[in-house]
Amino acid sequence: MSSAQLLEPEVKTRAAMPVTETPTKSLHIVGVLDDRFRDSDVYRYWLALANRDVDTHITQHPDFVLKESEVFADQYGLPVICVVSVLDGEPVAAAVLCPKNINTSTCGGIGLNWNLYGYRLAGNRIIGKCDPTVRANLLHAVQCEVERRYAQFLLVEDLEDDAELTADLQETLARQQKTYQPSGLQERLKVELPATAVEYWSKFSSKTRNTFRRKRKKIGETRLVKVTDAAGISEFLESAHQVSQNTWQTYRLGLRVSNTESERELLTVMAEKNALRCYLLLQESTPVAFLIGNQFGQTFNYEEVGYDRDFSKLSPGQVLLLEVLDDLFEDNTPKWLDFGGGDAEYKRIFSTHCSKSGNLWIVPLRLRSRYTIKHLQACRTIKDFGRTIVTKTGLLTKARQLKRRA
């Protein structure tokens, strides 16, 4: 298939196409996003599952996915797909596949550089509670769809190593496809919030609690602004953009909050579904730190955070987190605060649970796909060897010190 064929949108395919059927009256139906999708059985099944599964991530909600696909329609050629497992006429599970483009240079490639076209699993999980057999059959149906559309990968982002889905993917898909983790596993830290704030803060020593109080006092007069409805989004994004221009994340990775119409539209959908939960910390009237988060069910997801480096001596990031934790205990308390993938000192201080997570690619066993994986594996080996050399010689420590001083 040529690049032009691969990128051509398939928006006229009718939703609700039967894929497999078993003697247990179980079948899978596939919905492809088009202008009639909201009137299809697939949309209704998808919406019902998302609303009743307490672990559903807002990015798995059909209205969010449809808005996201509309916002980024010009960037992707593959269609959004929803595969629903139906048992005795009732939906029991669903997997939502969103188009994804990956450039080999952004995932560790050296020298050769090309784009890969495939799918990511929305929310990094299956929607709905179901038994292992249903999950296995659903993943098999997903595999068939990915291969049928000549996609080059299925990506599951930030997948925890102890999650049920991890074992399912290895047992169901890896038999006929290759799996690859471009950056290996990293720390995944969470806070399990107890019934009361007193119970949580009592886990810290009196010395640590005194340190928190001193930091709050040192920063001076502050105000926490919480944004949960659409009316506050524009002002929040404007302030977060102002802060983002001078954060460590922007310095190392590029601007994180751009204050664009696309960002506004996606946050608006979250607000409409009562899932938006963002925070802004003001020192007097100056924004110094922000947190973009969402809560759809029993988990508050810590998505994007940043603080103005000019105020770094006042610990604005940690003060913001202290204020946010107070608010989480006071209003609509979730069961979990999920910091997401990646280790950091502040995450370790506040977390109560630790696991491992990483991105997982499921790659069809085609010649180009095999070559791509071998190329990336070779690049990782070269980089690991180079990192070992500079670590042993002390050059890595010196480079980090120079970066901090910059």
- List domains and CATH numbers for the chain: 3-187+357-388 (3.40.630.30), 194-334 (3.40.630.30)
Residue-level pLDDT at 8: 31
Distance separating alpha carbons of residues 332 and 335, to the nearest angstrom:
10
Residue-level pLDDT at 387: 64
- Reported as half-sphere exposure (CB side, CA atoms, 13 A), residue 51 has a value of 10
What is the rounded (10 degree) CA torsion for 395, 400, 404, 406? 50
Angle formed at CA 48 by CA 293 and CA 62, multiple of 5 degrees: 50
Parallel, antiparallel, or unpaired for β 17-21 and 177-180?
unpaired
- Reported as half-sphere exposure (CB side, CA atoms, 13 A), residue 382 has a value of 10
| Contact predicate 57/50, CB 8 Å | no
Average pLDDT by stretches of 10, the chain with 406 residues: 31 36 63 84 95 94 94 83 92 95 73 82 93 89 90 91 82 70 86 96 96 96 97 97 94 90 97 98 95 96 96 96 98 96 91 92 73 67 66 61 51
Distance separating alpha carbons of residues 245 and 307, to the nearest angstrom:
10
State the maximum Cα–Cα separation within the chain, in Å, rounded to a whole number: 68
3-state DSSP of the chain? CCHHHHHCCCCCCCCCEEEEECCCCEEEEEEECCCCHHHCHHHHHHHHHHHHCCCCCHHHCHHHHHHHHHHCCCCCCCCCEEEEEEECCEEEEEEEEEEEEEEHHHHCCCCCCCEEEEEEEHHHCCECCCCHHHHHHHHHHHHHHHHHCCCCCEEEEEEECCCHHHHHHHHHCCCCEEEECCCCCEEEEEEECCCCHHHHHCCCCHHHHHHHHHHHHHCCCEEEEEECCHHHHHHHHHHHHHHHCCCHHHHHHCCCCCCCHHHHHHHHHHHHCCCECEEEEEECCEEEEEEEEEECCCEEEEEEEEECHHHHHHCHHHHHHHHHHHHHHHCCCCCEEEEEECCCHHHHHHCCEEEEEEEEEEEECCHHHHHHHHHHHHHHHHHHHHHHHHHHHCHHHHHHHHHHHC
Residue-level pLDDT at 66: 92
Name 28's bridge partners. Answer: 85
